[in-house]
């Protein structure tokens, strides 16, 4: 319960939160609270997604969705840190990770807020492709807002007025692209999260294809151009 209080601070007093990260105040406590909150929210959202296929899928997605975010964070954080240092940032790796966790926390809390809508569509529609696209859209919206928070945080924490600030902003936006690519590939590797209704439960599906081709195929089926096989 205490850890959930960090959400209000991030959403309502974000600049104070960023200033505290900049000044290194209570970094460990903040990171722990953000990590716990994110894991809970993502696990719940994962369970909602997986419920469309089976109970096993729900449990599997509840475990895999937090794993997806944490693994992507671990893979991408050194890149942002070292490139920031290269362009004159004086942030520590911990501060960088704290900022990225802020973005993940915002994304996860927004996903949680979408969960009732996902449940509603889960109970009232039976289109697998539609359900998949709906979730992708929710992830995209929440991800964009999370990244916007990261951008604001970077401005505050890395002192935008100082030398190299412009370069660091470029680095951050390029890193966001890399993060999105790594995240989507990680999601593809850890799939299924929803579970196709006509297929048996499997913890991980065989590799092949890619995330983007699959989304286009789903879009094509939803719009009635072809049937995904």
Partner 1 sequence: MSEPTPGRKASTTEQILDLLLDALAERQRARGSGPHAPAPAAAGEGKGTPTMTPAQAGEGRAPAPLPAPAREREVTRRPATLAEAATREPAPLPVIPPRPGEKGWQPPARLPSIQMHKFLARLVIAIALLVVAINIPIQRHGVSLARILPDSASLIIRDGLVLKGSGENIYMLQDEQLRWISSMDVFEHLGLTWGDVRVVGDTFLEQFEMGRPIYRIVKCKASPHIYALEEGKKRWIRDIETFTAEGYVWEDVQLVDCRYLRNLPDGVPIPEDAGPPPQP
85 in Cβ contact with 152 (< 8 Å):
no
Helix (H) / strand (E) containing 29: helix 27-50
- Using a 10 angstrom Cβ sphere, with 0-12 exposed, 13-18 middle and 19 or more buried, the burial of residue 198 is exposed
What's the closest the beta carbon of residue 16 comes to partner 1, in angstroms? 5
What's the closest the beta carbon of residue 194 comes to partner 1, in angstroms? 10
Quote the DSSP letter at residue 91: -
- Using a 10 angstrom Cβ sphere, with 0-12 exposed, 13-18 middle and 19 or more buried, the burial of residue 82 is middle
State yes or no: residue 193 binds partner 1 (CB under 8 A): no
Stretch that binds partner 1, among 117-125, 137-145, 172-180, 183-191 (CB under 8 A): 117-125
- What is the x/- site pattern for partner 1, positions 208-227, by CB under 8 A? -------------------x
3 in Cβ contact with 36 (< 8 Å):
yes
What's the closest the beta carbon of residue 109 comes to partner 1, in angstroms? 8
Task: Tell me phi and psi for residue 157, to 5 degrees.
Answer: -70, -35
Helix (H) / strand (E) containing 4: none
Stretch that binds partner 1, among 74-82, 86-94, 108-116, 134-142 (CB under 8 A): 108-116
Quote the DSSP letter at residue 52: T
State yes or no: residue 8 binds partner 1 (CB under 8 A): yes
Stretch that binds partner 1, among 72-80, 97-105, 153-161, 174-182 (CB under 8 A): 153-161
Output the six-digit token pair for 89. Answer: 């940032």
Member of 196, 214, 215, 219 binding partner 1 (CB under 8 A): 196
Q: Which of residues 70-89 bind partner 1 (CB under 8 A)?
A: none
Report how far apart, in Å, the C-alpha atoms of 175 and of each of 77, 178, 195, 218 are: 9, 5, 30, 28
State yes or no: residue 122 binds partner 1 (CB under 8 A): yes
Member of 152, 205, 211, 219 binding partner 1 (CB under 8 A): 152
Residues that bind partner 1 (CB under 8 A): 1-2, 4-5, 7-8, 11-13, 15-16, 18-19, 40-41, 44, 47-48, 51-55, 58, 109, 112-113, 115-116, 119, 122-129, 131, 152, 155-161, 165, 196-200, 227-229
């Amino acid at each position: 319960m205490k850890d959930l209080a960090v959400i209000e601070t991030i959403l309502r007093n974000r600049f104070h939160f960023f200033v505290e990260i900049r000044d290194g105040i209570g970094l460990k406590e903040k990171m722990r609270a953000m990590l716990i909150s994110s894991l809970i929210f993502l696990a719940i959202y994962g369970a909602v997604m997986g419920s469309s296929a089976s109970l096993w899928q729900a449990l599997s997605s509840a475990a895999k969705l937090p794993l997806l975010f944490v693994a992507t964070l671990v893979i991408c954080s050194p890149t942002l840190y070292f490139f920031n240092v290269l362009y004159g940032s004086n942030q520590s790796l911990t501060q960088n990770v704290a900022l990225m966790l802020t973005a993940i926390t915002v994304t996860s809390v927004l996903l949680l807020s979408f969960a009732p809508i996902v449940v509603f569509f889960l109970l009232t529609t039976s289109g697998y492709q539609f359900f998949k696209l709906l979730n992708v859209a929710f992830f995209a919206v929440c991800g964009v807002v999370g990244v916007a928070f990261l951008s604001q945080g970077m401005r505050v924490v890395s002192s935008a007025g100082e030398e190299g600030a412009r370069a660091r902003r470029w680095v951050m936006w390029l890193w966001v692209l890399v993060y999105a690519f790594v995240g989507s590939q990680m999601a593809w590797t850890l799939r299924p999260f929803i579970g196709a209704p006509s297929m048996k439960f499997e913890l991980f599906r065989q590799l092949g294809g890619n995330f983007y081709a699959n989304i286009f195929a789903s879009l094509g089926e939803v719009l009635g151009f072809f049937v995904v096989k």
